[in-house]
Amino acid sequence: MPEQGIVEGRSAQREEAIRQAWERRDFESAVRLTLDLYGCEILQYLIARMRGYDDGWDAFGIFADDLWRGIEGFAWRSSMRCWAYALARNASNRHAKARARGGRGERLAEDDCSVLAAAARSETNRCLQTGLKQRIPACVHFSRRMSRSC
């Protein structure tokens, strides 16, 4: 299984890059790197957990918003991957509860972190517009990657 060791080694290097960005207080880069490294697998997890494409994407938007809002307070008591999955699980639970109450889901505030979440969910890559691109470069990076690989 030498291939698995190579993949784990790359993942550990990328996890370290996230930590270095976090330690520099470059939270936008830390979020971008986290979404780049774990975004596709978390999206697939949420689609499976929510048993539907639309609900999975809705939960992913909540997850991305939670990641953006919580990154500064992350204390590194676990790996970023473990924390990201905990955020994803909590986002899917909140979305499912909102659906059970009869709503479509949680309404996100219209601020920069919501723009990031909406852009990550957008199938039309709305965040490629110049105004948003200048405000949140991580949004552009992730949406381009998602359109190619997920």
pLDDT, tens only, 92-124: 999 988 888 776 555 555 555 566 556 555 544
Q: Looking at the predicted structure, is the pLDDT value of residue 32 above 80? A: yes
Q: What is the mean pLDDT of the chain?
A: 77
Confidence at 1, pLDDT banded by 50, 70, 90? very low
Per-residue pLDDT, 146: 58
> CB 58: neighbour CB atoms within 10 A?
23
Q: Looking at the predicted structure, is the pLDDT value of residue 59 above 80? A: yes
pTM of the model: 0.65
Task: Report angle CA 61, 111, 43 to the nearest 5 degrees.
Answer: 10
Per-residue pLDDT, 126: 41
**Residue 5 one-letter amino acid:** G
Terminal Cα-to-Cα distance of the chain (whole angstroms): 25
Backbone angles phi, psi at 41, to 5 degrees: -70, -35
| CA distances to 90, 116, 143 from 85, in Å | 8, 18, 20
Q: Shortest CA distance to 62 belongs to which of 147, 120, 136?
A: 120
Residue 121, sorted as left (phi over 0), alpha (psi -120 to 50) or beta, turns out to be: alpha
Per-residue pLDDT, 129: 47
DSSP percent split of the chain into helix, strand, coil, nearest 5? 80, 0, 20
